[in-house]
Chains A and B, each alone.
Chain A
Amino acid sequence: MPRIVLISLAVILAIAVIVGLSATYTVSERESALVLRLGNPVAVINEPGDEEPGLHFKIPFVDDVLHFDKRNVEFNMAPAEILAADQERLVVDAFLRYRIVNPLRVYQTVRDERGLQQRLSAIMDDSLRGVIASIPSSEVISGQRAQVMNRIQLAVEAQVATQDIGIQVIDVRILRADLPQQITDRVFERMRSERQQEAALIRAQGEERARQIRAEADREAVVILANARAEAERIRGEGDGRRTAIFAESYGQDPDFFAFYRSMLAYDLALRDNTPIIISPDSEFFRYFQNQAGAPN
């Protein structure tokens, strides 16, 4: 008898534990839970705005609890080649961050996270193409990237709202917006030739500057010398002028004597040694040569 009591006690205990365990469930801070009663949704626990994480109870074996991540989750789209408004191809790699805010809608529309991501992939692809097709590639790459991301986010949000899939789009960011490989190669080629051009220009400018410096220096030197020569001539002229004045003053006292005196000086200076001179005995020099009286012959 006690043995049977014991066994039934153990069994009851085990059943109690099993039932107890299946009558409770816990909901973590980072998730929310959807309770289905025989497939019929009856409650959503710990939704955003209705925080109730912790221990909860349900009807064992009747209620089914599905957990959904409540955190900010990244969905990264595979890189896609997209035509921009100027017909340039861009490889765009974008990601989206979302949060499940309505687990019931998620369950109803896409069932689970995998289904959700498939749906998001389609929405993202569509929105990206739609927005980028209306913008020139340069705007996507550079200029207004923040604005472009904003527009894509609005497009995604609009679709999410229409389809009502129970998520909140937190952010859409373009990770990469690059040119396809063969265009990248062309960019490299262009960069290289731009640099070559730049280098040639810099060298030419250096040469130009060098020549300019040389030319200016040479000119300055020439000017310095020319000015010096002019000044030198003026100074020489001063000397010559003074000389002429001195002579004029001095010789002007007796031009006749000056003519004689200067002629004598000139003969002496001009006629060098052994200059052959043919002279007549009748000349003034020989006045007394044959006649001591000195009568002119």
Chain B
Amino acid sequence: MPWNDNAGGGGGPWGSGGGGRRGNNNNQNPWGQGPGGGRRGSGNGQGGGEPDLEQFIAQLQARIRRMFGGGGGKGSGGPGLGLIAAGIFFVWLAWPGSAWYVVGPQQAGVVLRFGEYVRTTGAGLQFKLPVPFETVMLPEVTTTNEVAVGATPQESLMLTRDENIVEIDFVVQWRVDLTYPEGVRDFLFNVRDPQGTVKAVAESAMREVVGTTELQPIITAGRTDVARRARQIIQDTLANYNSGIQVLEVQLREASAPASVIDAFRDVDAARQDAERAALQATAHANQVIPEARGDAVRLLEESRGYRERVIAEAEGQASRFNQIYTEYRLAPDVTRRRIFLETMEQVLGRSELIILDQQSGSGAVPYLPLDQLGRDRSPARTQTGSASRTGER
């Protein structure tokens, strides 16, 4: 067996100790014996069981004798013992944290004598009784600690007063309360697991606040108010515990509708924009229609005023013309009357297609008049201008 061969040869994994011990162990199970032999072998270096132990004890005794011997017997070992005692004493005092300690600017040094609070010290190098008598705790008191709530849906989804669900993710910043003298003591001795306490109290407080507020304010203008109220409850509760914890700030990182309904909420915002746009478009329409109507109104009024002035002027003109003719007419009514008649007939008949029919001579037969051909070369335009100019001449 290769395994046994290796063990016997002394080159096996269990070292030379196994081989050096006893030859008759060779046929035994290497698992059982190997390790034991090896350990013993390496502890000694020289091999051999009982004699080795005896020798070791003897050496130890000799060493002890050298140490204590002076004090007990001859007195010649005095300086050795004193030296060792002094060394131990020196190490005891000099060991960091034993008789002196350094308090950082962010820390407070709280000294306990056998577990009993004795004093609190400030920053810098400080002294105390060495270790079994006095121990020191160095809590970080000026550091701002952060607790985040809302990392998981279970933490972040909260019910509002109107039975909606809001997603809230917030951070509480706290530190040891230094506003009263016993703050550090309370912090160290009154509450187990400050960070966990702050978190549990914060979540409970936030749910309490959210539960009394409606959804809309939480996700819009009421955010800061929610944070402020939660901060107040957290602070009051922690003060009630005499926890020595001061809540600095509660910051709402997120306060919105849950992810699965956010689209519907966005659509409401979009609807507001749509409504606003519709109203603006209507206003634009109004802004166009009303001034147009005003303009039309002014045009109508001006037109009518124009009509009035024109009609009056025309009437005055015609009346004046008549008056003047009438004045002259009165001087020679008959002649004037006849003149006017003749002049008018002249005008009218002069431009007309005149057909003179003698009723007496034509009494035998009815004359033929081609009525459809009579008006053929008439032109309305010419007639109008002609008549206008002719009347104007008179």
Contact = CB atoms under 8 A, between A and B. Distances in A.
A27 B113 CA distance: 10
A9 interface: yes
A214 B282 contact: yes
Contacts of A73: 192
Contacts of B355: 276-279
B352 A206 contact: no
B264 interface: yes
Contact of A246 (B240, B283, B315, B371): B315
Interface stretch (A103-111, A118-126, A193-201): A193-201
A266 to B, nearest CB: 10
B298 interface: yes
B207 A177 contact: yes
A76 interface: yes
A206 B261 CA distance: 23
Given A217-B289, A225-B296, A235 B268 contact: no
A124 to B, nearest CB: 14
A268 B315 contact: no
Interface string B297-333: 1101101110111111011101110110110011001
Contacts of B73: 2-3, 6
Given A209-B279, A217-B286, A279-B354, A232 B204 contact: no
Interface stretch (A34-42, A142-150, A154-162): A142-150
B174 to A, nearest CB: 16
Given A179-B159, A277-B354, A269 B282 contact: no
Interface stretch (B41-49, B89-97, B99-107, B343-351): B343-351
Contact of A267 (B114, B237, B329, B348): B348
B304 A235 contact: yes
Interface residues of A, number: 114
A232 B164 contact: no
Interface residues of B, number: 130
- B279, B307, B310, B369 — which one has the most chain A CB atoms within 10 A of its CB? B279
Contacts of B277: 206
Interface in A229-274: 229, 231-236, 238-240, 242-244, 246-247, 249-251, 253-254, 257-258, 260-261, 264-265, 267-269, 271-274
- A9, A178, A196, A213 — which one has the most chain B CB atoms within 10 A of its CB? A213
A9 B69 CA distance: 12
A191 interface: yes
A144 to B, nearest CB: 9
B33 to A, nearest CB: 37
Nearest to B341: A264
Contacts of A29: 112, 115-117, 185, 188-189
Contacts of B380: 272
A71 B349 contact: no
A209 B390 CA distance: 64
A138 B162 CA distance: 9
A192 B264 contact: yes
Contacts of B114: 26-27, 53-55
B207 A174 contact: yes
A274 B351 contact: yes
Given A170-B240, A275-B352, A247 B319 contact: yes
Interface stretch (B3-11, B13-21, B119-127, B195-203): B195-203
Nearest to A196: B264
A175 B210 CA distance: 12
A72 B305 contact: no
Interface of A: 2-3, 5-6, 9-10, 26-30, 53-55, 69-74, 76, 95, 97, 138, 141-143, 145-146, 170-171, 173-179, 184, 187-188, 191-193, 195-196, 198-200, 202-203, 205-207, 209-214, 216-218, 220-222, 224-225, 227-229, 231-236, 238-240, 242-244, 246-247, 249-251, 253-254, 257-258, 260-261, 264-265, 267-269, 271-282, 284-286
15 contacts: A71-B189, A74-B196, A142-B163, A146-B208, A171-B241, A178-B159, A203-B274, A206-B278, A210-B282, A225-B297, A235-B308, A239-B310, A265-B344, A268-B387, A279-B355
Query: 3 nearest interchain CB pairs?
Result: A206-B275, A239-B308, A217-B286
Given A6-B65, A236-B308, A261-B325, 8 more contacts: A3-B72, A26-B114, A199-B268, A199-B271, A202-B268, A217-B286, A273-B351, A275-B351
